[in-house]
Each structure stands twice: as structure tokens, then as C-alpha cells.
């Protein structure tokens, strides 16, 4: 990506954010104008009933406030994901020519704000590399009760990107059971491969060869086990 293209993209993102902020302020002003409040309620006779700090919000106002909250949340999410995409590009540029990722960048950028997608910088880097390598990929795929980071149908691989906090004996046992369940759901020939985020950050250009090497290693191991059972 050239400097001119990068600046143009940054300008476009900034305009979107400014537009959303204006929308939030407009909705907030409208909500303040139509939200009535009440203090003391007078009742027949000499008594009066005091309602301390009581506010009544009509249905329309609640709807407006819900929209304001959602728009604000979307703005924060967009800003965070755009920042992660920027960080992903910078990390990749340290080990490869970023011009090789122009088409992949356009694809990821198109879907980056979809709910639930691209929750980490490493997931973005993974997607960029898979798309660059022309690997057919699906992101955040629901498989029964679990959600998989990436599904590579042509390779019959479920790819999970794991951070260090998720490692440990107990976690490893849970992951093993989950992986076995996932394979059962998808059928024979499928494999679950877990890649550490540290590997993505330092060796992302080797991701696809690593996946294929793991598949080949497991294939050979299955053949050896099969022969051992026969003898």
C-alpha cells in the first residue's frame, strides 16, 4: 500500500468517525428535549407525595437512547478494529513487503466491522496471510456449541489462534476435548490446528507452510499407528 493510499484510507475512516459523533450528539440533544422529569406529585387533600429523583422516560425516548448507545458502541468498536488493522499491517511490514498484501487488505477491510469478527490483531494478521495465499477461508464459524476462529474447507482444517493466557494443563485438556468434539461434528479427514499468537506475530508469512507441514506430519503418524495395530 502506497503512502498516498494509506493516507486516503485514514482520511476516510476519520470522516466516518466524525459523522457518527455528530449523529450521537444530535440524538442525545433530542432525547434531552423530550425526556420529562417529575418532582412533587400533589394528591387531593392536604398531603403531598414527594418522589425523590424520579424520572419517567417514554418509549420513544428509550428507543432514542438505545440507538445512541448502539452508535457509540459501534464507534468505539470501529476505532479499535481500525487500530488493530493498522498494527497488523505494521507488524507484517517488518517481515514482508506490504505491497503483496494490498488485495488481502481490501478484503479484510471490507468485513472488519462485522460483529464478532477480528477480535485480535493476530486474527487480522492470520486473515491477511490466508487471503494473500489464496486460501479459501471462513471466519468465526459456529460448529455446534463452539465457534471456530477460522475454517479452511479445502484443507479440511479448523484453525484456532491461541494466546498464552489460554495455555496450561487444565486448559490443554479442555481444548483436546473440544477439538475431538469439533472433528466429530465435521467428519472424517478434518483436523484442528492451534497456532500460538507469538508465532503469528513473528512468522506469519510461514503460516500456510506450517499448516501443511502439520497436516503431513499427522498423516504419517496415523499411517504408523495403523501399521502398528496390524502387527
Candidate CATH numbers 1.10.1240.10, 3.90.400.10, 3.30.1490.20, 3.40.960.10; the one for domain 3-34+51-230:
3.40.960.10
Ordered alpha helix ranges (H), the chain: 3-34, 59-93, 102-111, 121-132, 169-186, 197-203, 207-230
Kindly tell me if the per-residue pLDDT of 68 is higher than 60.
no
For 45, residues 6+ apart whose C-beta sits below 8 A from its C-beta are none
Give the burial class of 88: count Cβ atoms within 10 A of its Cβ; 0-12 exposed, 13-18 middle, 19 or more buried: buried
Q: Give yes or no for a contact between 164 and 197, defined as CB atoms under 8 angstroms apart.
A: yes
**Window from 53-57, 105-109, 136-140 with minimum mean pLDDT:** 53-57
Mean pLDDT highest for which of 51-65, 70-84, 172-186? 172-186
Bridge partners of 49, per DSSP, are: 41
pTM over 0.75: no
Rg (CA), the chain: 26
Q: Give yes or no for a contact between 167 and 160, defined as CB atoms under 8 angstroms apart.
A: no
Kindly tell me if the per-residue pLDDT of 29 is higher than 70.
no
Amino acid at each position: 500500500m502506497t503512502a498516498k493510499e494509506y493516507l486516503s484510507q485514514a482520511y476516510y475512516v476519520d470522516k466516518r468517525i466524525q459523522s457518527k459523533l455528530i449523529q450521537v450528539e444530535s440524538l442525545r440533544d433530542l432525547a434531552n428535549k423530550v425526556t420529562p422529569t417529575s418532582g412533587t406529585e400533589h394528591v387531593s387533600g392536604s398531603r403531598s407525595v414527594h418522589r425523590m429523583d424520579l424520572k419517567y422516560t417514554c418509549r420513544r425516548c428509550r428507543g432514542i437512547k438505545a440507538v445512541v448507545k448502539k452508535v457509540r458502541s459501534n464507534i468505539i468498536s470501529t476505532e479499535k478494529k481500525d487500530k488493530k488493522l493498522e498494527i497488523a499491517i505494521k507488524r507484517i511490514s517488518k517481515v514482508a513487503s506490504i505491497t503483496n498484501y494490498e488485495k488481502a487488505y481490501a478484503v479484510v477491510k471490507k468485513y472488519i466491522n462485522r460483529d464478532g469478527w477480528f477480535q485480535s490483531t493476530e486474527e487480522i494478521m492470520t486473515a491477511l496471510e490466508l487471503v494473500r495465499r489464496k486460501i479459501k477461508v471462513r471466519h468465526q464459524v459456529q460448529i455446534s456449541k463452539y465457534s471456530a476462529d477460522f475454517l479452511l474447507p479445502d484443507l479440511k482444517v479448523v484453525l484456532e489462534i491461541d494466546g498464552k493466557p489460554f495455555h496450561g494443563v487444565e486448559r490443554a485438556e479442555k481444548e483436546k476435548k473440544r477439538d475431538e468434539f469439533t472433528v466429530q461434528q465435521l467428519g472424517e479427514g478434518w483436523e484442528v490446528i492451534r497456532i500460538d499468537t507469538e508465532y503469528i506475530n513473528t512468522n506469519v508469512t510461514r503460516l500456510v507452510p506450517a499448516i501443511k507441514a502439520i497436516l503431513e506430519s499427522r498423516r504419517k503418524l496415523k499411517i504408523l499407528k495403523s501399521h502398528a495395530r496390524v502387527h
